[in-house]
Amino acid sequence: MADLSDYLNSINFSKQSLMEDLSTLEENEKGYLPYVVNRLLSNFPDSIFPANQMNIHSHLDKRMQYDFLLHTLRSRKRFSKFQKPEEIENLQNVKDYFGYSERKAREALRILTPENLEYIKQKLYVGGRAAKK
């Protein structure tokens, strides 16, 4: 079964369809993730509109979506990394202590002082030994 990078490489570079071989068609069709591929392709000016068309027509089967992108986009290097959410220090402590949602905890972090955060950290400390490595 092909993985995400195989699909992206075939759409962007090689232009060789991974879904032509009838013996592996079903496996390859299951492995194709249209939303992820569209999201990665939407980071580039020349592939925004085809990716958006596939988002609009998400009801089409996976092979049709893959073939559309394969034959519509020109061969070009398109590299992008997933954007990871930023890690905010003490956010989880504030969420646990007050029972806040992610958004409310971010707002609370703006007004809490370092002394308040240290107090919250002490209250949430449960003890125990660290595991040996």
Mean pLDDT for the stretch of residues 27-49 = 90
Identity (one letter) of the amino acid at 35?
Y
Q: Determine the Cα angle at 80 with ends 79 and 84, to 5°.
A: 160
Q: Is 82 contained in some domain? A: no
Q: Is 130 contained in some domain? A: no
Q: Is 79 contained in some domain? A: no
The answer on 95 and 68 residing in a single domain is: no
pLDDT in tens, 57-83: 999 999 999 999 999 999 998 877 767
Number of Cβ atoms within 10 Å of the Cβ of 51: 22
pLDDT in tens, 95-118: 999 999 999 999 999 999 999 999
Q: How many domains does the chain have?
A: 2
- Residue reference for tokens 């609009």: 56
Q: Is 11 contained in some domain? A: yes
The answer on 43 and 11 residing in a single domain is: yes
Q: Is 59 contained in some domain? A: yes
Reported as a pLDDT band with limits 50, 70 and 90, residue 55 is very high
The answer on 106 and 67 residing in a single domain is: no
pTM for this structure?
0.62
Provide the domain limits for residue 112.
91-124
